[in-house]
Amino acid sequence: MKSFHPPQRTLMGPGPSDVHPRILEAMSRPTIGHLDPAFVAMMDELKSLLQYAFQTENVMTMPVSAPGSAGMECCFVNLVEPGEKVVVCINGVFGGRMKENVERCGAIPVVVEDAWGSAVDPQKVEDALRAHPDARIVAFVHAETSTGACSDVKTLVEIAHRHDCLTIVDAVTALGGIPLYVGEWQIDAIYSGTQKCLSCTPGLSPVSFSERAVAKIRQRERKVQSWFLDLNLVMGYWGGGKRAYHHTAPINALYALHEALLILQEEGLENAWARHRHHHEALKAGLEAMGLSFVVRESERLPQLNAVRIPDGVDDATVRQRLLSDYQLEIGAGLGEMAGKVWRIGLMGHACNARNVLLCLNALDDVLGSLGAPIESGRAVAAARSVLHPGS
């Protein structure tokens, strides 16, 4: 065996996304102790940068030392107690994972279902809360990675609060890509991931908890079932002031997240959101000119995660393999009931740029054309350029 040297890919799937060179360089910096004064000072900056990204002043804002799935579990195990009712909105794979967490906490899920590819229906949530006035929490996905659908967080949180419920929000694919105002929208608990629109490496999960959520955590009747994710313990390390040892933090990965958030701050949140929207419009123009269609209606569609229907007679895996071997380009397969029916094309973070839009369209045009797919060949790139460079 020899040292592993991965191939150079362009990552346009559902994540991970391309990592900015500055972030890779940050990871190579010298490792110091996780209680070193210099590292603790960096942690304070990192917390402030995360508060900016989430648009919140929540004191309990930090990265969990594990991927987004652990951020999800952190929210549920801290806020959900056995026997409680939790309204869980399912419109894709990741709403289903929320339900699984509720059940593993010994709580009772009240499921609100919507078709895959649709946003969560606020009226269904209202109806569920009226039917179950003893529900304590409402959980839903902001940006459903399995379908590319975006739900109305502000409205859903308002409904939950009217019924005296806390909210848990999945923002794994949302953070840094679309408008998200944790403070203004009064979200109680939210989790994300580093490998999507932040363009960082996988392995960390930013989370944030409101004062209402923190109060519930501190008033729990039973211990949090996970020792590692128990925020009553973790905040001794992330809470500021004198740091109490809890676990050995992933030091170099936190360097990377600090750099990723610094890049986001330098660009500006609103500019990052606008960049994702602009390049989505160019990709959309090209895909539609080719004759491909989207799963999600335009009003509910994510710009950073595009679920595109596979043309009739085209084999999903063959196309993705050809893109990888001929163009070093990765796009994603469908999940769950969408497996074999859609491709998921990501435009996230550092990967969201004009070069990647044109590369993806040209590669798809070539591969699909060579396979005899029913597309309008030769039109996609020109259509995208008209959006990228209007009037030229």
Provide the pLDDT for residue 235. 86
Write down the pLDDT at residue 244: 84
For residue 81, the model assigns a pLDDT of 97
Q: Determine the average pLDDT of the residues in 27-32.
A: 98
Q: Tokens 């990265």 — which residue?
A: 63
Lookup result for tokens 């996988």: 202
pLDDT of residue 245: 87
pLDDT tens readout for residues 250-303: 999 999 999 999 999 999 999 999 999 999 999 999 999 999 999 999 999 999
Mean pLDDT over 183-192 rounds to: 98
Q: For each of the domains in the chain, give its residue range(s) and CATH number, in order of start.
A: 20-266 (3.40.640.10), 269-388 (3.90.1150.10)
pLDDT in tens, 220-253: 989 999 999 999 999 888 876 678 889 999 999 9
For position 184, what pLDDT does the model report?
A: 98
Q: Which H, E and C letters describe 343-391, residue by residue? A: EEEECCHHHCCHHHHHHHHHHHHHHHHHCCCCCCCCCHHHHHHHHHCCC
Question: Is residue 391 pLDDT above 90, yes or no?
Answer: no
Q: For 62-86, what is the mean pLDDT?
A: 97
Question: What local confidence, expressed as pLDDT, does residue 90 receive?
Answer: 98
| pLDDT reading at 328 higher than 80 | yes
User: What percent of the chain stands above pLDDT 70?
Assistant: 99
44-49 average pLDDT score: 96
Return the C-alpha torsion angle 12, 17, 23, 28, nearest 10: -100
DSSP letters along 52-80, please? HHHT---SEEEEESS-HHHHHHHHHHHH-
Cross-strand pairs, 207 = 62, 191
Are the beta carbons of 64 and 78 closer than 8 angstroms? no
* High-pLDDT (> 90) share of the chain, %: 96
What mean pLDDT comes out for the span 167-173?
98
Q: pTM for this one?
A: 0.96
Confidence band of 360 (pLDDT split at 50, 70, 90): very high
Predicted local distance difference test score (pLDDT) of residue 46? 97
**For 362-377, what is the mean pLDDT?**
97
Average pLDDT, the chain: 96
